[in-house]
Chain A
Amino acid sequence: MFDIISIVIGVIILVLAFLALNSKSLIKAVLFLSGISMLAVVLFVIMRAPDVAITEAVIGSGLVTALFVFTLLSVKKEEVK
């Protein structure tokens, strides 16, 4: 059971990483990175590491994605002019 779940999640992570590196728009790559981070939290939980899972969930979903989006938004404002 552990092996099946970990292999399925691992394959989905590899597909998302491949899509994130080959996408043309930057905002889609940032959203794929957030998805990879969430699936890595599931892997940490089934490998019995609750401390690391809580830390990665809070930092990967809230703070890193927000910093990327703020950088991209403040740039698009100047391109509109």
Chain B
Amino acid sequence: MIQYIAIILFVFGLYGLLTNRNVIKMIISLNIMEIGLFIFIISVGFVYDGIAPIISSTADLGLLYVDPLPQALVLTAIVIGVGTTALALAFAKSIHNKYNTFNLDEVEEKL
């Protein structure tokens, strides 16, 4: 059930990215898409009644663990999302310094 919610969140973010003309709203839609994707990827590796994949000694290796590979992929993706958002906001600030607006339709008229 949580996978349907993650896919709907991804579609919300895509609709916001296609429709809005404000640069800040576009960056917010990109972040919403990314959060939906992270929830979906981690839900692929979940096992009912499993425990977190951290062992204290070599004695307890026979218990039921959740899959650790999707968590490693999402850990990398979160940090890359921060880098992308920072660069996009630097672009937005530079656009406002030059054209004095955040709306892309008005920037197209002034070009």
The dominant DSSP class at the B interface is helix
B52 contacts which chain A residues (CB < 8 A)?
A: 48-50
**A interface, CB within 8 angstroms of B:** 2-3, 6-7, 10-11, 13-14, 17-18, 20-21, 26, 29-30, 33, 36-37, 40, 43-44, 47-52, 55-56, 59, 63-64, 67-68, 71-72, 74-75, 78
Contact among B12, B42, B92 with A47 in the assembled complex (CB-CB below 8 Å):
B42
Contact among B13, B48, B66, B82 with A49 in the assembled complex (CB-CB below 8 Å):
B66
Known: A55-B75, A67-B86. A10 touches B5 (CB 8 A): yes
Task: Tell me the chain B residues, 86-103 only, with Cβ under 8 Å from chain A.
Answer: 86, 89, 92-93, 96, 100, 102
Count residues of B near A (Cβ-Cβ below 8 Å): 44
B2 near A55 with CB under 8 A, answer: no
In whole angstroms, what is the CA distance A55 to B46 when docked?
19
B38 near A56 with CB under 8 A, answer: yes
A33 near B78 with CB under 8 A, answer: no
In whole angstroms, what is the CA distance A20 to B38 when docked?
19
Q: Across the two chains, which residue of chain A brings its CB closest to B12?
A: A17
